[in-house]
Structure 1
Amino acid sequence: MDAIFEATIQVLSSDGMIGLNTTRVARRAGVSVGTLYQYYPNKQALLFAVMEKHLMVLATAIERACDQNLKATVETIAEAVVKAYLQAQMTQAELSPALYRISLELDARALIDVAARRSAAAIGAALSSASNARFADPGLVAQTLTAALFGTVPAFCHRVLAPADGREAEKQLTIMFRSYLSAHQSGVSGS
């Protein structure tokens, strides 16, 4: 399965969505088309699996960043979440245009919802533990931040980001997150 998955990414990178078909993927993976069909019954299932894995990588990166920043300041949490998200996104920057098209073609809302819920739960937990602020409803704040974060994907994914663009995106998203968190603090704890 791993060989098929990697071959799918390679074919997407080299041939794009239009050039991707099960025959090319099977050939690149070194398996028969029949073997490929045992795991993925069609091109759509294959693309769905690629999209799902990408979204889980994003959610896992956010969860890890939040876990590593429990009890940190809200500024540090904001920076860590944005950085983790964009780093995970940039690891497959060459696939971003294809992933964006896949999400539109496959109606990947359910997959996006799962990744967003995982991310919002992690952000909410981190915000609840923040050392320098309290929020009346950290869960709602986290859901809003997650929607903003995942909602920025189309702005970046329809083209490949150069490293300079990624740094600027990180800077702008961090400002946005920090400003939003500052506006929604219900009290500052002593530190």
Structure 2
Amino acid sequence: MGATTTAALKPRKKPVQARSAATLAAIHEAGIQVLLAGGYARFTTIRVAERAGVSVGSLYQYYPNKGALLAALLGEHLDVVVSSVEGACQAGTGRGLETMVDGLITAFLDAKLRRPEVSLALHAPMAEADGAALVRAAGMRAAAAIGDMLAGCRDAHIPAPHAAAGILATALSAVMQAALEAGPERLDVGWLRMHLRSLAIGYLHRLTQADPTKG
């Protein structure tokens, strides 16, 4: 995506007062509600402004177009997920491998499934919201945190922990996305937790067995 297009997706200003912050929060929540109610095809700044109870002009003070608003919604969602993962990784550093994985999986699931319908709804507008770049940046943050945690594992040596973390973060995200796309009526959180845990622990244990420093 070119620099001009990327610039068009950036917010015009950030709130500096409590009232402005409240207006922006209302716009964000209205954006989510409009997206859930009508899907990406019916998402417009006019509908969002109406749902938020603000004028279109007020909305445009923050976002020049619907792409910029969608980018903000996606970025906010990703930040919540990654911040949760980062917190779990900080808490897990220095612990045993399975304890680390349990904390990571719990944090990831809790963040993604707090509002699973939002996680899925934000998938459709990714192209217009420069979603690939936002997801890539979020994935790099998550992988960095997971890699730091794995490097401090108490009871196992994970070779190339940051490379392993990148693969693990990608795998967990892919499985989660597939589960969400299957539909909320088919979402079994216990089943998903078990499979994500097995995937992560199995992969990491296999790496320790292949560790050349053990030979």
TM-score normalised by length of structure 2: 0.81
Work out the percentage of aligned pairs sharing the same amino acid: 37
* Cross-structure match for 1:3: 26
Q: Distance in 1 between matches of 2:182 and 2:30?
A: 22
- Asked whether 1:173 is paired with 2:196, we answer yes
What SS is found at the alignment partner of 2:85?
helix
| Alpha-carbon spacing, 1:69–1:152, altered in 2? closer, same or farther (3 Å) | same
Q: Does residue 91 in structure 1 map to residue 114 in structure 2?
A: yes
For residues 199 and 153 of structure 2, the distance between their equivalents in structure 1, rounded to whole angstroms, comes to 18
AA at the equivalent of 1:27: E
2:17 aligns with none
Question: How many angstroms apart in 1 are the aligned matches of 2:182 and 2:127?
Answer: 15
Check conservation: 1:52, 1:111, Cα contact below 8 A.
yes
In 1, the alpha carbon distance for the partners of 2:149 and 2:212 equals: 16
Question: CA separation in 2, counterparts of 1:6 and 1:157?
Answer: 21
Q: CA deviation at 1:83?
A: 1.6
1:108 alignment counterpart: 131
2:84 corresponding residue in structure 1: 61
Q: Detail structure 1 runs of 4+ shifted over 4 Å in the superposition.
A: none
What SS class does the counterpart of residue 184 from structure 2 fall into?
coil
Q: How does 1:39-78 map to 2 (within 5 A)?
A: 39-78=62-101
Measured against aligned partners, the alpha-carbon deviations of 1:3-56 in whole angstroms (never above 9, x if no partner) come to: 111111121222222222111110111110011111111111111111111111
| Cα separation, 2, equivalents of 1:159 and 1:5 | 26
- Higher Rg: 2
What are the equivalent positions in structure 2 for 1:155-166 lying under 5 Å apart?
155-162=178-185, 165-166=188-189
Deviations 1:96-154 (Å, cap 9, x if unpaired)?
A: 33112122554411111111111111111111111100122111111111111222243
Residues 160, 61 of structure 1: CA spacing in aligned structure 2 closer, same or farther, 3 A cutoff?
Answer: farther
Match of 2:167 in 1: 144
* Number of residue pairs aligned between Structure 1 and Structure 2: 188
Alpha-carbon displacement from aligned partner over 1:62-111 (angstroms, at most 9, x marks no partner): 10111111111111111211221111111121223311212255441111
> Counterpart of 1:135 in 2: which secondary structure?
coil
Q: In 1, Cα distance between the equivalents of 2:36 and 2:104?
A: 27
Contact 2:67 2:129 in 1 (8 A): yes
One-letter amino acid of the counterpart of residue 148, structure 1? A
State the partner residue of 2:157: 134
> Where does the alignment leave 5 or more consecutive residues of structure 2 unmatched?
1-23
Task: Note if contact 2:147-2:164 (Cα within 8 Å) is conserved in structure 1.
Answer: yes
What is the rounded CA distance, in whole Å, between the counterparts of 1:108 and 1:17 in structure 2?
14
Name the amino acid aligned to 2:198.
I
Distance 1:115 1:69 in 2: 20
TM-score by length of 1: 0.90
